[in-house]
Structure 1
Amino acid sequence: MCRPIRALTEARGHATSEHVLASFGGAGGQHACEIASLLGIKTILIHRYSSILSAYGLALADRAYELQEPSSAFYSATTRQTLTQRLDKVTEDVKTELKRQGFEGDRVHVERMLNMRFDGTDTALMVLPNPGDGDGAEDFEAAFKRVYKSEFGFLLETKSIIVDDIKVRGIGKTFDTLGESVYEEVKGLAQRPVDVQAKADGTRRSVYFDRVGRVDDTPVFLLDGLEVGEVVEGPAMVIDDTQTIVVVPGAKALLTSKHLYITLE
């Protein structure tokens, strides 16, 4: 399989060289440098928690909770107030549940929607008004006509509008921002070579590397023992309880606050 990859790399290396390889999984770091090299990629990102990235990502993700109720009402100036009152009640129920889960105040973003269609048709659209729709005060009719015309290219002006369902989605924001990107962090980071004697694990390992062969005294570093800004030069291995990261000869691995930032020659 290596020959086709190398051929593709030679033909399209100018494209792949601009990419960054993101590696995850407990064993992903064992192969990341070699795969990047085959693809002509010079930069590799391995998250500090790459071996448990799915669980870690779930913990960081926003929490969404939504409720939907049937309606079967015509939308008009007369029913608009009643529908708004129903939306208000469902909104409070959604906020109550998100508060129970630990989200409240400005940590909660609410989206209020109506599932609408023209009378006599069976195509309903879930509509979320924009501030610029109609009178700007949750004008669902104007929002529906905007979405319908965008979808189908015409409007059924003589038809009444039916509301099949009301729906409220609440989103509990875990973070307003995740901070600066790893690339911005690297630009301003004071880098220094790691003290191999002080930081390497006491037992050296015999590791085979492509192109250079076996290196009998490959140093092994504990990920938690490294400090932000320290640079590990290959050949080396960086490990923790759930992952192994191989740094090939000629590669440099810089520890940032959340990633191992590896660059190849």
Structure 2
Amino acid sequence: MVENLGIKQISVHRYSSVLPAYGMALEDVVDENQVPESKVWFKNGGIITNLKPKMVTLKEAARGRLHDQGFNDESIVFEEYLNMRYRGTESSLMIINPKSQVTAELPENGDNWGFGKALVQQHEQEFGFILSDRDIIVDDVRVRAISKSFQLEETQPQNVGDEKKFCFSGIFRGRAPQNAGL
């Protein structure tokens, strides 16, 4: 392929072997927990009083494990999920709370549990119909805690004087060739 493209020389960055490790160090750390459940979702929200304590317990456990790894509350974001389906069907959908991008602060402020409406919308989008005459069953409660890795400070590139350049190499920038110092 190199011959077909007419490439005569390939330059490899001297830090190319450590760049993948550097990228991995900047990745997010995720802690995920799930517990089984078997409850009917009520439109009036009565089930929320049963499920919220489980969600809070899962969040606290995830927060503790992330704290053990050196992350603080400011870097933790929670995503809340309920595995839901219509009664009599086998196709359950993992529904993320539309408002679950909350910070690590507990307890939640107000009622932010839009799972029922989200299931109806996602079921219609994926399957093309809704079963409004059937109960909605909650099969699982799940929490994902995401902590941002330690971010490095941005630095501005600095020009290197000609005396520190090893050699010059022709590179293409846009459509015009330029000499670049190495």
TM-score range, shorter chain: 0.7 to 0.9
- In angstroms, what is the RMSD of aligned CA positions? 3.0
Runs of 4+ in structure 1 off by over 6 angstroms are none
Q: Is the 1:116–1:127 Cα contact (8 Å) retained in structure 2?
A: yes
Q: In 1, distance between residues paired with 2:38 and 2:17? A: 49
Q: TM-score, normalised by structure 2?
A: 0.75
Query: Does structure 1 residue 194 correspond to structure 2 residue 163?
Result: yes
Q: Which has the higher helix share?
A: 1
Q: Is the 1:233–1:251 Cα contact (8 Å) retained in structure 2?
A: no
Q: Is the 2:26–2:151 Cα contact (8 Å) retained in structure 1?
A: no
Q: In 1, distance between residues paired with 2:24 and 2:3? A: 38
* Other-structure match for 2:154: 179
* Other-structure match for 1:114: 82
- The percentage of aligned residue pairs carrying the same residue is 31
Q: In 1, distance between residues paired with 2:152 and 2:19? A: 18
Q: Is the 1:63–1:172 Cα contact (8 Å) retained in structure 2?
A: yes
SS class of match (2:24): helix
Residue 128 (structure 1) shift: 0.9
CA pair 92-2 structure 1, distance change in 2 beyond 3 A? closer
Q: TM-score, normalised by structure 1?
A: 0.53
Structure number with higher relative contact order (C-alpha < 8 Å, ≥ 6 residues apart): 2
Residue 140 (structure 1) shift: 0.9
* Other-structure match for 1:52: 18
* Other-structure match for 1:67: 33
What does residue range 14-163 of structure 1 map to in structure 2 within 5 Å? 34-35=9-10, 46=13, 49-76=15-42, 77-131=45-99, 137-163=112-138
Residue 50 (structure 1) shift: 2.1
Q: Is the 1:232–1:252 Cα contact (8 Å) retained in structure 2?
A: no
Residue 72 (structure 1) shift: 1.7
Could you list the per-position Cα deviations for residues 59-91 of structure 1 after superposition, in whole angstroms to 9, with x for gaps in the alignment?
Answer: 221111111111121111221221111111111
Residue 191 (structure 1) shift: 4.1
Amino acid at match of 1:192: G
Amino acid at match of 1:81: T
Q: Is the 1:62–1:174 Cα contact (8 Å) retained in structure 2?
A: yes
* Other-structure match for 1:234: 168
SS class of match (2:63): helix
Query: Does structure 1 residue 5 correspond to structure 2 residue 2?
Result: no
CA pair 100-153 structure 1, distance change in 2 beyond 3 A? same
CA pair 150-175 structure 1, distance change in 2 beyond 3 A? farther
Residue 56 (structure 1) shift: 2.3
Residue 53 (structure 1) shift: 2.6
Q: In 1, distance between residues paired with 2:123 and 2:181? A: 53
Structure 1: unaligned runs, 5 residues or longer:
10-32, 36-43, 196-230, 236-249, 255-265
Q: In 1, distance between residues paired with 2:60 and 2:52? A: 12
Residue 92 (structure 1) shift: 0.6
Q: In 2, distance between residues paired with 1:123 and 1:194? A: 67
